Amino acid sequence: MAFDAANLVRIGGGSGRALWYYTTTEAQTAVRVEDYFLPAINMINKNDVIICVTSTGTTPVVSHAYCNQNDGTNIDIVNGVAITNTDGD
């Protein structure tokens, strides 16, 4: 699979930064690869935050990441920090 622009939504922003939501059935390891977001290079700016919901099974993986490179030619996001799915009750 590849990046799907229909699954990228800008949910907020201010002070020159934006907050994005992206969902896919791909693994987070695929999403964090350089140039995965290349079709959105004119939308996502360096230091924009992305909430990624990824999954290759029945349980989604939710992580926070940000764009650490966008030079107009290449775009990359950091690996991200997974939000744990522990339900203690």
pLDDT, tens digit (0-9, with 9 covering 90-100), for 13-48 = 988 899 999 999 998 899 999 999 999 999 999 999
Q: b or e along 58-89 (b: 16 or more beta carbons within 10 Å of the residue's beta carbon)?
A: eebbbbebbbeebeeeebbbeebeeeeeeeee
With a cut of 90, say whether residue 56 has pLDDT above it.
no
Per-residue model confidence (pLDDT) at position 1: 66
Per-residue model confidence (pLDDT) at position 45: 97
- From the list 9, 57, 8, 47, the residue with the least C-alpha distance to 31 is 8
